[in-house]
Amino acid sequence: MDCTDIQKQQIEVLLGYVFHELQLRCSQRNLKAIAALAYACHNLPSAYRNPHFDLDYFRQWFGRFHDDHGFMYDYLSMLDAIRDGAAITGELAIGKWGEGLDAWPIPEPPALTE
């Protein structure tokens, strides 16, 4: 799949949420979850520039992370939004999950630009 500029921008938003979750999990010293989340997305910054980019590959790894460690942000919904060319909002990122975010402010991503 060739990513549009909007999809590339939304992948960067998703990565912002990943970094926020990594920070929160570091404060909890949840090393296995940190390693799994980092692995789930470590190729994402370079892969989306490739014409053979496959969101399903990343859905597999984020799904495994969700199953094994729970999650603070709903990366699967974010990947669906990216596929659809839709904006990732703070509400979408939290989804119905948002485990452990009660005490943390949720960053709102920047507006889409074309």
Q: Is the pTM of this model over 0.75?
A: yes
Taking the domains of the chain in order of start, what are their residue ranges?
5-94
Q: Which residues contact 21 (CB under 8 A, 6 or more apart)?
A: 37, 71, 72, 73
Dihedral of CA atoms 63, 48, 6, 62 in degrees, nearest 10, equals 10
What pLDDT digit, counting tens, does each position of 33-69 carry?
A: 999 999 998 888 777 777 778 889 889 999 999 999 9
pLDDT of residue 110: 58
Give Cα 79 distance to the centre of its chain.
Answer: 7
Are 40 and 62 contacting, i.e. CB atoms less than 8 angstroms apart? Answer: yes
Structure tokens at 35: 């390693």
Inter-axis angle of helices 75-84 and 55-69, to 10 degrees?
Answer: 160
Express each pLDDT in 59-92 by its tens digit: 999 999 999 998 789 999 999 999 999 999 888 8
- Write out pLDDT tens, residues 94-106: 876 555 555 445 5
- Tell me the one-letter amino acid at 69: H
Cα(76)–Cα(63) distance, integer angstroms:
7
